[in-house]
Amino acid sequence: MSILNIGNHISKTVKIRRKHRERFLMVLSTLIFALLILNFIMNVDSISLSLTGDGTARSNGGIPSPHQIWSHCTITTAQLNDALTNDSITAIEADIMMDETGSFPVMAHPPSREYSLSFKGFFERIFVFNKERSSDDKKTKLVKLDFKEIEVVLPCLKNVASHNSDDVGQQHTQVYLNADILRGPGARTSDPVDGTKFAEAIKEEGGKLGKVFLSLGWKTHVARYYNSQGSYSSDDCAEMLELIQCE
């Protein structure tokens, strides 16, 4: 039974007036979705979405701890240096776009494409750092790659795969692949990262990436969300499940 069917049944049972029923269903759907997300977070130590040898996704154990100290929007050389030399930082998140000529991926955050660090240079620094740290039994740093447009995905995955192939059977760098691949609350008319093409890129390079984790979401706009331009719905959930379901 879908969330909306459950809501209809409840609203009829408690005799909610027709004019209030639509609002009731919207609130109920949002609440149930929030509870599902909370349930996932509470069980995150035993649930993950990683890639199999053929590039398909499956749920399994081994996901990194949710208790991380993050360096967010780490897109400049100085910010990366700070994150790598600060022992309290355990995870690095960075945004990726194409350079102004559309030639190669760079570390930049929309709307600006100005950069001081290419993705190739960024990932190489983290890879070498983690490899040296692991040989000394020191803690390595997790990296979360936030893809801001579909054009950067495949070249970045190829770069990650090339490092993994040189890793002598050991994977020193845990990688999250993050993108907003569907339209969400407050951004129903905005263009997300193309979910179908994202999945195709994952399929193409998945078997060469080693164990990586998918971190997928909806494109949203918080200000418009709170101005009554929608909420998460059962259709949002179904669309995401359809994209990531295992075959």
Amino acid at site 95:
D
Beta-ladder partners of 97: 106
- The whole-angstrom separation of Cα 243 and Cα 198 is 10
Beta-ladder partners of 58: 50
CA dihedral sign of residues 18, 20, 26, 32? negative
- In three-state secondary structure terms, 48 is strand
User: How confident is the prediction along the chain (247 residues), in pLDDT tens digits per residue?
Assistant: 344 444 444 445 445 555 555 666 666 666 665 555 544 444 333 334 555 444 444 444 567 777 899 999 999 999 999 999 999 999 999 999 999 999 999 999 999 999 999 999 999 999 999 988 887 667 889 999 999 999 999 999 999 998 876 554 457 788 999 999 999 888 888 899 999 999 899 888 877 887 788 899 999 887 655 555 567 888 888 888 888 775 4
Amino acid at site 53:
G
